[in-house]
Amino acid sequence: MCFNFSISQNQITLPKIEHNNFRVRGIPFHSITISNDNIITFDGDTIMIYDLKERLLGNYKDLNLDYTVTFGEFKNIHLFIDINTKFNFFDKVFTEISSAANPVVILRCNLANSNESNDVIGLKTKLAPSFFKFSAPKYQYTNQEMEEINAENQVKHDDFLPTPETSVFPIKNVTTAVYSLQQEIIDEQLLNKKIECLKVTNEGINFKDKKISFENQGFWSEIESNFNVVFVTFEDNLLYSNYIKYIKSKPVNFNIINFNTNLELIELSSQILKLHERAKIKVCYCVN
């Protein structure tokens, strides 16, 4: 796929990070930009936010690929976002991407595009999921209900499970439970876990009654040592420049997948928070 990218330096100011520590490999498979006046471009074409998912799905369909495919580091989506863009806008763009494509993206910090890793600077991170990517059913059995069904079937010598009311939605962890929009599924996954919530603001990270600076090197070690599940929310007017500081503050293994920690760090998009509110879902005491 040809890469087409052009943008004026006057329209966008990218965040600045250390050149040596955040080099990434490969030119963008797709480039998405958000200018300082919230204008979105997709591979050089100006589009509306609601066109983004369709463009992504259309390109994957043309390539005869499943839209859930992971392309790898040479075919990532690169995001070029102005530092003054606010969370209540760029989060919607993130959600559209997660609804259609692999949510691992590169948050770019310079405009150079080449195959040389020394030229391309950015942060590789995983976006919050989208509810509609999961296509959750209206009802999902809890693990307890499944055990009871299995026990009942053994008594009856029945070889088959009863036909579920809807397609089975696999609940593998707290993240997938959150996207079931079913309180008992969430409660089951949170049972006996140490839970905390953080809120990212322009001044730092709200933790209990404390304000943690983005530069606090020991904070995440404390979080990992003391909690099993941490929900992260963001204030609506959080500037992208400060969102980048938050991403940089986390250990690298928190940004993608870390199999060596018991901590499940779950960033909650505004989409899922609104769905929770409508469904009267409570994920923990500190997320209303």
What is the pLDDT averaged over residues 183-207? 93
**Domain boundary assignment for the chain:** 30-130, 169-279
Residues 137-156: what's their mean pLDDT? 70
pLDDT of residue 50: 87
**Predicted confidence (pLDDT) per residue in 209-219, tens digit:** 899 999 998 89
pLDDT band at 154 (very low <50, low <70, confident <90, very high): low
107-122 pLDDT, tens per residue?
A: 998 887 766 656 788 8
**What is the pLDDT confidence band of residue 260, given thresholds at 50, 70 and 90?**
low
Write a three-state SS string for the chain.
CCCCCCCCCCCCCCCCCCCCCCECCCCCCEEEEECCCCCEEECCEEECHHHHHHHHHHHHHHCCCCCCCCCCHHHCEEEEECCCCEHHHHHHHHHHHHHHCCCEEEEECCCCCCCCCCCCEEEEEECCCCHHHHCCCCCCCCHHHHHHHHHHHHHHCCCCCCCCCCCCCCCCCHHHHHCCCCHHHHHHHHCCCCEEEEEEECCEEEECCEEECCCCCCHHHHHHHHCCEEEEEECCCCEHHHHHHHHHHCCHHHHCCCCCCCCEEEECCHHHHHHHHHHCCCCECCEC
Give the model confidence (pLDDT) of 10-47 as tens digits.
479 999 887 556 777 777 888 999 999 999 999 889 99
